[in-house]
């Protein structure tokens, strides 16, 4: 178990800045930005410093809004999957 805790507006263990966060008792999803990409990661709630299982959305000055929209949609899809799987437990 890690003592590291994610917070919106702060940084992930790898330096990416957290812009949205979802967590339940066992797992979580983070939407972060790093250099010129938005990233969504899944992580175990007890290991908030984990940056495995990422989806990356590259952007530049012309498409950052589109990239953010896609990353946000990916985060929502991941959250819905977690909620659906917990309903079947």
Nearest to 9 by CA among 24, 22, 19: 19
Residue 38, both tokens: 């938005």
Residue 2 lies in a domain: no
Task: Say what the pLDDT of residue 53 is.
Answer: 77
pTM metric for this prediction: 0.89
Task: Say what the pLDDT of residue 38 is.
Answer: 97
For the chain, the domain total comes to 1
Per-residue pLDDT reduced to its tens digit, 24-67? 999 999 999 999 999 999 999 899 988 877 999 999 999 999 99
Task: Say what the pLDDT of residue 89 is.
Answer: 61
In this structure, the number of other CB atoms found within 10 A of the CB of residue 42 comes to 19
Residue 71 lies in a domain: yes
The DSSP code for 2 is: -
Separation CA 7–CA 18 (nearest Å): 7
Mean pLDDT of the chain: 92
Range of the domain at 35: 17-82
Backbone dihedral angles phi then psi of residue 38, each to the nearest 5 degrees: -100, 145
On the question of pLDDT at 85 being above 90, the answer is no
Residue 47 lies in a domain: yes
Residue 78 lies in a domain: yes
């Amino acid at each position: 178990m890690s003592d590291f805790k994610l917070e919106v507006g702060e940084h992930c263990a790898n330096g990416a800045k957290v812009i949205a966060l979802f967590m339940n008792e066992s797992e979580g999803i983070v939407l972060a930005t790093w250099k010129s990409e938005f990233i969504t990661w899944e992580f175990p709630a007890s290991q908030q410093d984990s940056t495995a299982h990422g989806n990356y959305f590259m952007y530049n000055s012309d498409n950052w809004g589109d990239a953010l929209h896609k990353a946000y949609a990916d985060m929502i899809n991941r959250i819905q999957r977690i909620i659906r799987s917990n309903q079947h437990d």
